[in-house]
Structure formats: structure tokens, C-alpha cells
Structure 1
Amino acid sequence: MATIPTGDFLASLNKIVASAGAFITDPQGRVLLVKPNYRDHWGWPGGHVDAGETPEQACAREITEELGLTLPVGELLVVHWVPPFDDRPMPMVHFLFDCGGLPDGDGVILQEEELDDHAFYTPDEADAVMPPILTARLRAAVDARRRGAVRYLS
């Protein structure tokens, strides 16, 4: 039986993109969303996991870079498998972490190179500013936080 060289085997494996986001709420339970200047819709503070980072480290880094805050990265709320779409030919795995509460956006300093705005939204309000795939993730995160159990979406 012929063996496949390790390099060839690894090159044949499915490639995925990993990203991490921060689920942050205000005292009323609304979720902090940001408006990137490179997208038409709103989303969570967060981004791609860089080489050598864990998803938790990427989440913490992105909170600092995008919001100018240092917040604890808490429990994992949602793991979301997102198939390829548009110009991204590979699937993505998104990790959404519970990063606690923030009274009224106190102390947020937006990263002006990437973000135009931030605001707190209820899930129903988010329907107007996010695509359905992201509002499904938002609702799953609300449920996961309430139940204390990780949700998986695909």
C-alpha cells in the first residue's frame, strides 16, 4: 500500500477560515454591534484568527483594536459553520464569545480605519441592519447565554 507524502496529504485537506467575535451587552440586554466601513451590514466586534492565535486571543485582540477596550473573553456561546459564499471560496468557522456587559458603550474608542459606528441593538432591531445568517447567530447567542450552553449552527 502506497503512502501519501505528508505535504501532499496536508495540501489536499479542506481549508477553512476561522474568525472570532465578542458578544457584549448593555444593562438592558441589547447587543453591541459595529458598522464596518467595508461592509453594508453591521456585526460583532471581532475578526479573523491570525496565525499562532487561538480564537479567544483573536477575540481579545479585536476588542482592543476595534473598541479600545480590554474586556475578559468569557465562555464560548456559539460555533457557526458558514459555507463558502461570494468571493470567499472556503468555509468559515466563527466562534462567538461572551464578553460580558458594558454600560451604555462607556469608553468605546472606535478604530476609525475599519469602523464607522457602534450601537446597542435588540435582536428584533438587528434584523434591520444584519443579514439573516447573522441574526440567527445573534439569537443563538442570546439563547446560549440564557441556558448556559454552547450552540452550534450550520
Structure 2
Amino acid sequence: MSHHQHQPPTTAVQLNHTAVYATDRQLSAEFIAEILGLEVSAPLGPFLPVDLGNGVTLDYYEKRDEPIQSQHYAFLVPDDQFDAMIARLKAIAVTYYANPDHTDPGQINRLFGGRGAYFADPAGHNMEIMTRPYAGR
């Protein structure tokens, strides 16, 4: 049996970008960039990108004529930036929650030894910030 069978492939697959639907791409892109401490990039055709800095870009795409299906986006954030993100949510009066069902306003969770919170973006997507990945990942 070869020793190379259980090695990960040399070219690992990575998520590069994903389209995020918004009723107002500028509003949604600026919202998440503000909360996460990032910047909105120059438009790329119909897309308004927010570069997360780890090789993944959120490409905000405007859909005005149909309802937007709420999606879930979870961001692994540095522990030392978590409090600032919560403060920015408070500053613009966006309620955050400890759970994805949004039943416990103003609370954070302490899953897997870290801290986390959920909040809605302007298009109704369920955003999550967390300082530790889920156990086993």
C-alpha cells in the first residue's frame, strides 16, 4: 500500500467567491464591510465585491424584482476583533443574537470555547460571526 493514499491533494479546493443577492448591493456590501472592518472593492460588472482577505470574495448582486431567499453566511473572526464588531452592530442599532433563530436579543454564545453572534443583513441574510470554528472542523 502506498504511503501517498491518505495525503491531501497538493492542490486543495478552495471557495474563491460567492454571489450574495441583495435588494441594494451598495447598502448590503457596505453593511458587512463596516461590521467586519473590511472595505468594499470596485464594482466588477454587476457585482460589488467585498474581499474577506483569505482568498474568498463576497460578490454582492442586486435582485430587485423578486424576493431574496435568506442564506446563512458564517465568518470566522479574530478574537481580538469580536468586541469591536459587536460595538459596531450596537452603534448602528442592529440587534444581534446568540442563536440562529434570533430568539435571544443582545446575547452572544460561547460555543467551542469561543464567542459568536448572529444578525440579519439589510437583505435578510442570516450572518454569523464566531471566534472558533465548530468542533471537528
- TM score, norm. by length of structure 2: 0.28
Structure (1 or 2) with the greater strand fraction: 1
Structure (1 or 2) with the greater helix fraction: 1
Q: Which has the higher contact order (CA 8 A, sep 6+)?
A: 1
